[in-house]
Structure 1
Amino acid sequence: MARLILNGKAARRFALRSAISNCRKEGFSLDVRITHSAEDAAHFAEQAGQDGIERVIAGGGDGTVHQVVNGLMRVPAKQRPTLGILPLGTANDLARSLSLPMSSYRALIAALTLSARPIDIPSMDNRYFINMATGGFGAEITSSTPKSLKRLLGGGAYSLIGALRAWQYRPYPGRLEWENGEHDGNLFVLAMGNGISAGGGLRLTPDAKLDDGLLDVLAVRDVASLRDMWGMRRELQSRPQKGTYVETFRSAWLSFESDETMPLTLDGEPCWKDGFKVKMNPLALSLVAPLHSPLIKARHVATSSSA
């Protein structure tokens, strides 16, 4: 049996209800739980593990997937259900990066039938994320974009808010450390990718893989002038390992300390911290994904398909 944990805001969509009905008519055993608050998704996911459910499907946007992952990670590894994704959000960054279908019926069939592959799950202190954590200006934009604008413009809402606020940012001072390096000074953007994109399709860590045991990190240092901004944009195109403004690296862990709080998002979910440590939990969760998904490095299969 599979359990669909469905964001309550999407539950009344006709196409979705039709997809669920058709899948049941085709013989799939599908139990549905509808959330009424963010905490419900994590609770339902944890309960699924306790109930012996083999496959949990997160029906919603990146935030719903995030909450479901946190619930699944509370389940002991041997009992932890496989995760499938039914993308119903505004950006659906992870689902799009995985090359999952976007129509409700095709996505639900994929979540029910495709094989699963073991992937890494990063954690920031006591919270898990599956796709990406961002800090600084990028996180500020994601957390401040009104939900009504997200619905109206889709992923383009993030670009619009970013353009409006580009010269109103403030730098975030602190000490960044990782496996083979460190940085003291101001940060403009920090992206820690298990996946490749955030904020409605911004490819911040385009070479990341979900199963390589490493975070792909993009650190953009403070820019003080329009000339610096243009230099930063050029470096973002070439993504140097150690440029004047941009630095990229891979590491199994990363820490940040500051005297000030920094805005952060974990899979788009906002928080504020003046210090944190991120580490990888290698191959901690099985994720339903197409065989040739660009985010999957290895080709081994974690579990068989479920009907």
Structure 2
Amino acid sequence: MARNKEKTIFIVNPVSANGRTSRSWRRLEKDLQEKGYIFDVVYTHRPMHAIDITRNALEKGFERVIAVGGDGTFNEVINGFYLDGEKISKSAALSVLPMGTGGDFSRYLNNKSDINYIYHLLEQDHNDACDIVRARFTGWDGKPTERYYLNIFDTGIGSATCYYINQKSKALGGFLSFLSATLRSLATYKNQYLTVKVDGTEVFQGKSAVTAVANGKYFGGGVMIAPHAKIDDGLLDIVIIGDLSKLEFLKNLPKAYKGEHLTHPQVEYFQGETVSIQSEEKLLLELDGESPGYGDTELEIYQQDMILVV
């Protein structure tokens, strides 16, 4: 008899964390099979593949979808739950087994990657509803693009860091990979002039080092950019770091890892349900650890729209 009740699929990104995910997952998969759990496994083979795999699984009636990898893999699976702005399944639940470089949303949930935590995911009967965020911007193909996310969107040093880290090997692991990319970003990045509106009201106009629109707390491999954020409060947390010099940014970075940066005079904090970010400059964007595009962005929160297994 199967030990898990829900029809479950694991979607595994084998190249996540410079290939470590594939090796770790195979050991865990063997243990689960020996314990009598019944599940499907599908490996991704290209960027955005997890979106298609997720949609196909939901159309086949899978009730629990577990992403195995980093924040980018998790985000692809999230987007697979939606098609033309509508959820494919109202009842299917989502979870993540963190094995990637960043793991920032898993850090918020305190998810683990050990075998006992996987047992918990498979046997857990209680699911939680959480908020989801829709982002609209320009994709790399120059066309209007719509993506969903659960954790954080940002533009600035964070998005430049994300861009650099996704171009290079992640063999150093999460913290060191992000730190190395951050230092490289600081060497070349120039604060950009932008305008931010929250719920239709202009709240900021000027140069910004980082502008983050958060549902979760962490980004950049453990930076607690939005310490007050909650994934089920129906609100976006907007953190704007103003025109800091590179030296001042580095000086205050340790505070940001602990979520103690909001009192800095150059940091502004807001909450709201919709956010608009506009600039005459070509803003580089980050969304859940990926670099999906650029330019002016519209964001909107959808309350309690995703079912999460934690």
Q: Which TM-score band applies after superposition, normalised by the shorter structure?
A: 0.7 to 0.9
Aligned to 2:33: 24
**Paired position in structure 1 for 2:51:** 42
**Please, which of 144, 148, 151 is the counterpart of residue 164 of structure 2?**
144
1:256, 1:34 → 2: CA distance? Answer: 36
Provide the residue aligned with 1:251 in structure 2: 272
CA 1:87/1:34 → structure 2, altered by over 3 Å: closer, same or farther? same
Match of 1:7, as an amino acid? N
Could you tell me which residue of structure 2 aligns to residue 98 of structure 1? 109
- Distance in 2 between residues matched to 1:261 and 1:67, nearest whole Å: 24
1:194 aligns with 2:203: no
Following superposition of structure 1 onto structure 2, how do residues 1-307 of structure 1 map, counting pairs within 5 Å?
1-9=7-15, 13-74=22-83, 76=87, 78-103=89-114, 105-114=115-124, 115-125=126-136, 126-145=146-165, 148-179=168-199, 181-224=202-245, 226=247, 237-240=260-263, 244-289=265-310
Retained in 2: the 8 A contact 1:223–1:229? no
Q: Which amino acid aligns with 2:177?
A: A
**% identical equivalent positions:** 27
Q: Secondary structure in 2 aligned to 1:123?
A: strand
Match of 1:305 in 2: none
Give CA deviations for 1:32-85 in whole Å, capped at 9, x if unaligned. 111101222001111111111110111111110000000012363654520021
Letter in 2 for 1:128: Y
Contact 2:131–2:304 (8 Å) recurs in 1: yes
Quick one: structure 1 residues 70 and 232, their matched pair in 2 at CA, closer, same or farther if it must change by over 3 Å? closer
**In the alignment, residue 277 of structure 2 is paired with which amino acid?**
F
Judge conservation of contact 1:177–1:256 (CA < 8 Å) in 2. Answer: yes
**Residues 203 and 234 (structure 1), Cα distance of their counterparts in 2 relative to 1, 3 Å cut:** closer
Provide the secondary structure at the position in 2 that maps to 1:97.
Answer: helix
CA-atom RMSD in angstroms = 2.5
Give the TM-score, by structure 2 length.
Answer: 0.83
Distance in 1 (CA, whole Å) between partners of 2:220 and 2:250 is 20
Q: In 2 relative to 1, CA 15–232 (structure 1 residues): closer, same or farther, beyond 3 Å?
A: closer
Give the AA of the match of 2:231. Answer: L
Cα distance in 2 for partners of 1:65, 1:228 equals 29
2:55 match: secondary structure: helix
Q: TM-score normalised to the size of structure 1? A: 0.84
When residues 201 and 98 of structure 1 are mapped into structure 2, their CA distance, relative to the original with a 3 A threshold, is same
Q: Are the aligned partners of 2:237 and 2:270 in contact in 1 as well (CA < 8 Å)?
A: yes
1:112 counterpart letter in structure 2 = L
**Aligned equivalents of 1:89 and 1:38: distance in 2?**
15
- Structure 1 CA distance, aligned partners of 2:254 and 2:11? 40
Given that residues 86 and 111 in structure 1 are in contact (C-alpha distance below 8 angstroms), is that contact kept between their aligned partners in structure 2?
no
Q: 1:239 to 1:48 in 2, by over 3 A?
A: same
Question: What is the CA–CA distance in structure 1 between the aligned matches of 2:46 and 2:166, rounded to whole Å?
Answer: 18
Compute the displacement of 1:229 (Å): 7.3
- Distance, in Å, in 1 between the alignment partners of 2:14 and 2:116 is 20
CA contact (8 A) 1:90 1:154 kept: yes
Structure 1: any 5+ residue segments left out of the alignment?
290-307
Partner of 1:296: none
2-structure distance, mates of 1:233, 1:99: 21
CA contact (8 A) 2:13 2:22 kept: no
Change (3 A) 1:229 1:66: closer
Q: 1:171 to 1:8 in 2, by over 3 A?
A: same
Q: Are the equivalent residues in 2 in contact too, given 1:254–1:277 (CA < 8 A)? A: yes
Q: Distance in 2 between matches of 1:147 and 1:283?
A: 34
Supply the distance in 2 between the matched residues of 1:231 and 1:268 (Cα, whole angstroms). 22
Report the alpha carbon displacement of residue 14 of structure 1 after superposing the two structures with TM. 4.5
Take 1:135 and 1:11, find their aligned partners in 2: how far apart are those partners?
29
Cα distance in structure 2, aligned partners of 1:144 and 1:21: 35
Alignment length, in residue pairs? 286
Which structure carries more relative contact order (alpha carbon 8 Å, separation 6+)? 1
